C-alpha cells in the first residue's frame, strides 16, 4: 500500500508538472496572484464555512448527541480533509484520522463509525446527483457549441465509476463491517463484538429517515457551496463567468477526483481536468489551472495548522495517558 501511494504521488507530481509546463507556468502564477492577500483570506474563511456544513452533515447522523458536540464533528471533518489533501494519504487515511478525532473527543466508537459510514454514503449519493447535473449541463453546452473536445469519454467514465463506487459502498457496507470484525478478532479480542455494535448502530440509524435525509441535503449543499467557492475565486481574480458554468466544471472535476481516490489529493489529475474542461465554458486553460492551484493553496492554509494542532492534541493525550 505504501509503495502504491508513493508511485501514485510521484506520477501525480509528474502529471501536474506536465500540465503546468504545457499551459504556461508564468501565466498561471500571474493569474493566481491576481486574487491578492485579502481575496485569499476570504477563500480560507469560505472554505471553513464549507467544512462546517460537512461537519453538521455528519453530526445529524450521530443520534442523541447534544448540540454542544457539533464543534467536535466540524473539527473531525477538518482533520479528515487536511489529512487527505495535505499528507500523502489516500482518502482512507483522512477517514481514519477523522474517526480518531471523534473517538478521542469522547464520542462512543460505535456511534462514530456508524455515523461516518452513513455520512460517507450520503456524501457519495449527493455527489452522484451533482455529477448527473454536470453531465446534463455538459451535454447542453456541447450541443450548442462547435467544439469537438474529447471530453465525453472522460466525463462518462467518471459518472460510471461514481455510480459503481456508490452502489458498491451502499450495498456492501454491512457485509464489510462483519468481515472486518471477523478478521480483527484474530488480532484484537473483542473486535467482532465491536463490529457487531457498529452494525446494530448503523441499522438503527437507517431506520430513522429524518437524520438520513438531513445528512443527504447538507452534503448536497456542501458540494454546491464548495463549487461556488471556485466561482468566488474567479470573481476575485477578475474573471466574469456564469455561476452555472462554474458549477458544471466543478461537478465534473469532483467526479474525476472521486475516481482517482487512491491518488493523494488527485494530484495532477485535478489540474489536467481543469485544463481540459475550462475552455469548454469560456475559461482559458491558464486561469483554470490557476484556480486549481489556488484551491490547493487554500487547502494547505487550512490543513497545515489543523494537522499541527491535531498532532499537539494527540501528543498531549499520550502524555496524560502515560502519566
Residue 295 cell numbers, joined: 484551491
Q: Average pLDDT of 176-195?
A: 49
**Residues 58 and 47 sit within 8 Å (Cβ to Cβ):** no
For residue range 227-262, what is the model confidence (pLDDT) as tens digits? 999 999 999 988 889 999 999 999 988 887 777 666
- Specify the higher pLDDT residue, 179 or 211: 211
How far is CA 248 from each of CA 31, 50, 100, 251, 260, rounded to the nearest angstrom? 21, 18, 34, 5, 19
pLDDT of residue 124: 85
261 φ, ψ (degrees, to nearest 5): -65, -20
Q: What is residue 85's three-state secondary structure?
A: helix
- Number of domains forming the structure of the chain: 1
Q: How far apart are CA 60 and CA 38, in angstroms?
A: 34
pLDDT of residue 187: 43
R_g (Cα) of the chain, nearest Å = 20
pLDDT surpassing 70 at residue 169: no
pLDDT surpassing 50 at residue 303: yes
pLDDT of residue 188: 42
pLDDT of residue 191: 46
Nearest to 201 by CA among 306, 111, 66, 317: 111
pLDDT surpassing 50 at residue 297: yes
pLDDT of residue 165: 65
Range in 154-158, 191-195, 229-233 with the lowest mean pLDDT: 191-195
pLDDT of residue 231: 95
Domain residue limits at 75: 2-322
**Residues 254 and 316 sit within 8 Å (Cβ to Cβ):** no
Residue 91 cell numbers, joined: 482518502
Q: How far apart are CA 20 and CA 166, in angstroms?
A: 32
Q: Average pLDDT of 90-115?
A: 83
Q: Average pLDDT of 137-147?
A: 67
Q: Which helix (H) or strand (E) holds 204?
A: helix 191-206
Q: Average pLDDT of 210-221?
A: 94
Average pLDDT across the chain, whole number: 79
Nearest to 222 by CA among 25, 323, 32, 81: 81
Q: How far apart are CA 155 and CA 245, in angstroms?
A: 15
Amino acid at each position: 500500500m505504501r509503495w502504491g501511494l508513493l508511485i501514485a504521488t510521484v506520477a501525480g507530481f509528474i502529471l501536474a508538472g506536465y500540465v503546468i509546463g504545457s499551459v504556461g507556468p508564468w501565466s498561471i502564477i500571474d493569474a493566481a496572484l491576481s486574487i491578492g492577500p485579502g481575496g485569499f483570506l476570504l477563500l480560507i474563511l469560505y472554505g471553513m464555512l464549507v467544512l462546517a456544513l460537512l461537519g453538521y452533515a455528519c453530526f445529524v447522523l450521530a443520534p442523541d448527541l447534544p448540540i454542544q458536540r457539533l464543534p467536535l464533528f466540524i473539527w473531525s471533518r477538518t482533520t479528515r480533509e487536511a489529512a487527505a489533501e495535505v499528507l500523502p494519504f489516500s482518502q482512507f487515511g483522512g477517514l481514519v484520522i477523522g474517526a480518531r478525532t471523534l473517538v478521542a473527543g469522547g464520542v462512543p466508537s460505535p456511534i462514530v463509525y456508524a455515523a461516518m459510514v452513513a455520512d460517507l454514503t450520503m456524501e457519495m449519493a449527493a455527489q452522484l446527483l451533482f455529477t448527473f447535473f454536470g453531465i446534463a449541463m455538459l451535454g447542453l453546452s456541447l450541443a450548442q457549441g462547435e467544439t469537438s473536445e474529447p471530453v465525453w469519454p472522460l466525463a462518462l467514465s467518471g459518472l460510471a465509476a461514481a455510480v459503481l463506487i456508490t452502489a458498491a459502498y451502499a450495498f456492501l457496507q454491512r457485509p464489510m463491517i462483519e468481515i472486518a470484525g471477523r478478521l480483527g478478532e484474530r488480532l484484537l479480542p473483542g473486535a467482532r463484538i465491536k463490529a457487531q455494535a457498529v452494525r446494530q448502530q448503523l441499522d438503527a440509524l437507517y431506520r430513522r429517515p429524518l437524520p438520513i435525509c438531513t445528512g443527504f441535503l447538507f452534503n448536497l449543499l456542501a458540494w454546491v457551496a464548495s463549487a461556488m467557492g471556485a466561482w468566488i475565486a474567479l470573481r476575485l481574480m477578475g474573471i466574469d463567468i456564469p455561476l452555472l458554468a462554474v458549477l458544471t466544471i466543478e461537478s465534473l472535476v469532483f467526479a474525476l477526483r472521486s475516481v482517482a481516490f487512491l491518488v493523494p489529493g488527485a494530484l495532477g489529475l485535478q489540474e489536467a481536468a481543469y485544463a481540459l474542461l475550462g475552455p469548454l465554458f469560456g475559461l482559458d486553460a491558464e486561469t483554470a489551472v490557476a484556480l486549481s492551484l489556488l484551491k490547493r493553496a487554500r487547502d494547505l492554509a487550512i490543513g497545515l495548522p489543523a494537522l499541527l494542532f491535531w498532532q499537539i492534541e494527540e501528543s498531549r493525550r499520550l502524555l496524560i495517558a502515560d502519566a
